[in-house]
Amino acid sequence: MAAPGGWRAARARRRRRGRDRDREKEEEEEEEEEGGTGTEAVLRRLREARDDLLSSGFWAASAGAVRAPLSGPAEPPACCVCYGLGRFAACPAARYQLAFLLLLLEELRVPPARCALFDPAFSAREAAALGALGLRLLTENEEGKHGVGGSATLFYMVHCGKALYNNLLWSNWSPAALSKLVIIGNSFRGIEERLLSRILERDYSYIAKVLKGTEEVALPSHPRYLDTFNDTSVHWFPLDKLQELSPEVWNFVEEPRYQDCEDLEIIRNQDRAAAQS
């Protein structure tokens, strides 16, 4: 059925295209300031970031934390999911985080084709650069609700919102599934220290409940990357520790709603749809 006032809708679409062009122009200007707008320029800056991580010693110092989950009986990750990387063509911090991820995949021998990324902020050039690297893009916003399906999986989530971690845990809420997760992201200990316990238990109950079943090793501090990897830790969930938790911990599996959360740090599907309308 044709909507009344169809010419108005067409005009609105033109405005959206105008906004899209404005955004593309802004992206080009940002990337020009960083040394070029083409895919090859983006890849060149990424190689430079990789070289910096290696020459600075930060990657070598981080290797112990990266390998820590593999010291026990857990199987090594067979695939990887990355959320919230950001605009790495224009933002140096995001670029270093991506370079670190690529080194991580090499270290863990995870093929690039088995690493999927999602960030609604990616530009077309960034998407092309990721494709050139052999990485995959997720087409839908999972809101962190990604079940591992029996495969050991690394989740790379540096500086993501607490709800994203909470959703991920909920989606894998069993000892068998959680024991197959490795999460590199905001320190769970730091989250516990910064939040009032009643807020943590009310809004992020799955983080609160898994704390006693979590092993955590912080990435080292380095003066060159203080804003890039601050408060970042490697987390894993040994099966024996999870099995020691009270049976009641596993009985409550209600999907998180965040109805009372005042500072939700996550882009939800309904929020994105409303912004695009």
pTM assigned to the model: 0.85
8 A C-beta contact, residue 126 and residue 74: no
Contact between 148 and 118 under an 8 Å Cβ cutoff? The reply is no
DSSP sequence for 17-73: HHHHHHHHHHHHHHHHHTT-SSHHHHHHHHHHHHHHHHHTSHHHHHHHHHHGGGGSS
Q: What percent of the chain has pLDDT over 70?
A: 84
Q: Can you tell me the distance from the alpha carbon of 24 to that of 68, in angstroms, rounded to the nearest whole number?
A: 42
DSSP state letter for 76: P
For residue range 179-214, what is the model confidence (pLDDT) as tens digits? Answer: 999 999 999 999 999 999 999 999 999 999 999 999
Q: What is the pLDDT of residues 219-258, one digit of tens each?
A: 999 999 999 999 999 999 999 999 999 999 999 899 998 8
130 φ, ψ (degrees, to nearest 5)? -65, -40
Q: What is the mean pLDDT of each run of 10 residues along the chain (277 residues)?
A: 30 42 51 62 96 97 93 88 96 97 96 97 95 96 94 96 97 97 97 95 96 97 95 96 95 89 74 49
pLDDT recorded at residue 34: 47
Helix (H) or strand (E) holding 228: helix 226-229
| pLDDT at position 114 | 98
Please report the pLDDT score of residue 15 as a whole number.
42
In this structure, are residues 82 and 115 in contact, taking their beta carbons and an 8 Å threshold?
yes
Q: Is 231 left (phi over 0), alpha (psi -120 to 50) or beta?
A: left
Report the candidate in 111, 166, 123, 121 with the shortest Cα–Cα distance to residue 141. Answer: 121
Q: Return the closest-CA partner of residue 180 out of 191, 168, 164.
A: 168
Question: What is the pLDDT at residue 6?
Answer: 29
